[in-house]
Amino acid sequence: MKYFSMKNKLGLLLVLGSILFFTSCNKGIYDIPEPQVVPPSGAMLGDTLKSNANDSLYYRLVVRSGLFNTINNKNANFTLFVPDNNGMKFFINAVSGGLVPLNAPDAAFSQFITTNISVANAQAIVAYNTVPQKVPFESVPGNFPNLQYPTIFNPAPSLSALLRLTTFPSRMNGNWVNNIPVVGTNLEAGNGVIHHTFTIVAPPTRYIWNRINTDPNLTIFKAALQRADSGAVGSASLIAGLSNIGANFTVLAPNNQALKNILSFLTGGVLQPTDPDAYFIGFLGSNQVTTQMIKGIAVYHMFDGFSNTASPGLTLQRPGRFFTNNMPTTATAYPTLLSSANTTGFAYPPVTLQASFGVTGVTAATAKGAFNATPANFVINPTPDPGGTSDQHFLNGTLHVIDQVLLPSM
């Protein structure tokens, strides 16, 4: 059968970064006079929100969170990502399941915040939308992949008091934070700056593996990852990496039909694309296909942000977490987790990424493997997890569902 020709033709070099990085510095004692501290002038961030009628609903959320004094501290600098009242109404209408209609009076939205959003959830949202430094938007890079900025939100203080979730502002293809448009920039306050967003930038709550493990349309991809992990321990385990809060992945997850199509081809039609999912899951668990081959294909669908710092002239790196709105608009090749770094660059079969934009944002996105005749399409639906299929944001990365398996070789 045709699938036998693929055995032993895929190499695998799997590199997973360490879980968390903690740094410290030791400073010597010098006889240097202390600089004079100049108190900031003007209203602080909390008071700025309070005085702006169009930010009254986010101000109510800040009050609910108990973080007003934090962001109003004149001895600290912050950047806030704040939806105005229209953005807050859009958010509350969605989380209320439509019970608070968009044309309801402001008082109804304010009441919902006070009575239906818990203090813990309000704290998570406000903290995730607060960066502990002043970042004018013109200083945000317009590169791919977009850079990470730490927030003040620690989702797991019992794991580490130093842990912070990061957010991803970008000026590539417009102004964004994660995949939410930034609609207004640089509202100055005495202790920082406010950037207005189209709606709430919600903090992630699950791991990538949680989504793959529970999505009924990714059961065959799940089986492939489980087979790829056969005998793997520690950093060699893909599932462990996809469950690691310190990781920074993007996963292009082929849906069930995409895997059925390629497995049918590889078996010479022994398996038909219309056969039940269980037939394909059983095939992936059989000795008719090698673990190495499955693992090679699996990691070809992942990006982990690794760059070869030992090679100063290296122009490409494996992108980490990215959103469709940050993808290049011209087809550009990037190394994946299958790619290995050496002293001159990456030895890899690349994946080519491209996005298209319309008036509503990203209208199409594609990824093409080295041996694919045509690109795979992202299944565009940015509705937040678990309902959407593109720009699914997790504690340790993003996931995009695609309609074709990417092939590094044949």
In a domain, 139, yes or no: yes
339 versus 92: the higher-pLDDT residue is: 92
In a domain, 121, yes or no: yes
| Residue range 150-174, pLDDT digits in tens | 999 999 898 889 899 999 999 999 9
Query: Structural domain of residue 184, as residue ranges?
Result: 45-197
pLDDT of residue 307: 57
pLDDT of residue 340: 67
126 versus 2: the higher-pLDDT residue is: 126
d(C-alpha 265, C-alpha 267), whole Å = 5
Q: Check: CB of residue 346 under 8 Å from CB of residue 316.
A: yes
Same domain, residue pair 217 and 341: yes
Last residue of a domain, one of 155, 173, 197: 197
pLDDT band at 38; cut points 50, 70, 90:
low
d(C-alpha 370, C-alpha 350), whole Å = 6
Last residue of a domain, one of 178, 197, 216: 197
In a domain, 23, yes or no: no
d(C-alpha 340, C-alpha 221), whole Å = 23
pLDDT of 17 over the 90 cut: no
pLDDT of 275 over the 90 cut: yes
Mean pLDDT check: name the lowest of 28-32, 234-238, 292-296: 28-32
Same domain, residue pair 103 and 60: yes
Same domain, residue pair 220 and 307: yes
Mean pLDDT check: name the lowest of 90-99, 202-211, 235-244, 377-386: 235-244
In a domain, 30, yes or no: no
Residue type present at position 270? V
In the chain, how many domains are there? 2
> 181: buried, middle or exposed (CB in 10 Å: 19+, 13-18, 0-12)?
middle
**Mean pLDDT of the region 376-385:** 96
**Mean pLDDT of the region 371-380:** 97
Same domain, residue pair 377 and 330: yes
Mean pLDDT score across all residues of the chain: 87
The torsion angles phi and psi of 351, rounded to 5 degrees, stand at -110, 135
pLDDT of residue 410: 64
Question: 219 is written with which tokens?
Answer: 């059961």
Percent of the chain with pLDDT over 70: 84
pLDDT band at 344; cut points 50, 70, 90:
low
pLDDT band at 232; cut points 50, 70, 90:
confident
pLDDT band at 236; cut points 50, 70, 90:
confident
Same domain, residue pair 104 and 211: no
Same domain, residue pair 183 and 246: no
pLDDT of 264 over the 80 cut: yes
In a domain, 34, yes or no: no
**Mean pLDDT of the region 286-315:** 79
| Residue range 51-63, pLDDT digits in tens | 999 999 999 999 9
Q: Which range has the top average pLDDT, 230-239, 252-261, 328-337?
A: 252-261
pLDDT of 351 over the 70 cut: yes
| Residue range 114-142, pLDDT digits in tens | 999 999 999 999 999 999 999 999 999 99
**Mean pLDDT of the region 66-75:** 97
Same domain, residue pair 139 and 261: no
pLDDT of 68 over the 90 cut: yes
pLDDT of residue 313: 52
Same domain, residue pair 191 and 249: no
Same domain, residue pair 216 and 353: yes
User: In Å, what is the CA distance from 98 to each residue of 83, 102, 301, 320?
Assistant: 19, 8, 37, 35
Three-state secondary structure readout of the chain = CHHHHHCCCCCCCCCCCCCCCCCCCCCCCCCCCCCCCCCCCCCCHHHHHHHCHHHHHHHHHHHHHCCHHHHCCCCCCEEEEEECHHHHHHHHHHHCCCCCCCCCCHHHHHHHHHHHCCHHHHHHHHHHCEECCCCCHHHCCCCCCCCCEECCCCCCCCCCCCCCCEECEECCCCCEECCEEEEEEEEEECCEEEEEECCCCCCCCCCHHHHHHHCCCCHHHHHHHHHHCCCCCHHHCHHHHHCCCCCCEEEEEECHHHHHHHHHHHCCCCCCCCCCHHHHHHHHCCCCCCHHHHHHHHHCCEECCCCCCCCCCCCCCCCCCCCHHHCCCCCEEECCCCCEEECCEEECCCEEEEEEEECCEEEEEEEECCCCCCCEEECCCCCCCCCCCCCEEECCEEEEEECCCCCCCC
H or E element: which one contains 112? helix 106-116
pLDDT of residue 342: 55
Same domain, residue pair 309 and 367: yes
Same domain, residue pair 192 and 236: no
**Mean pLDDT of the region 64-76:** 97
Last residue of a domain, one of 197, 228, 244: 197
pLDDT of residue 77: 97
Same domain, residue pair 118 and 79: yes
**Mean pLDDT of the region 283-294:** 92
Question: 257 is written with which tokens?
Answer: 């039909």
User: Which CATH number covers residue 285?
Assistant: 2.30.180.10
Cis, peptide link before residue 181, omega less than 30° from 0: no
Question: What are residue 188's DSSP bridge partners?
Answer: 193
CB atoms within 10 A of CB 90: 15
195 versus 3: the higher-pLDDT residue is: 195
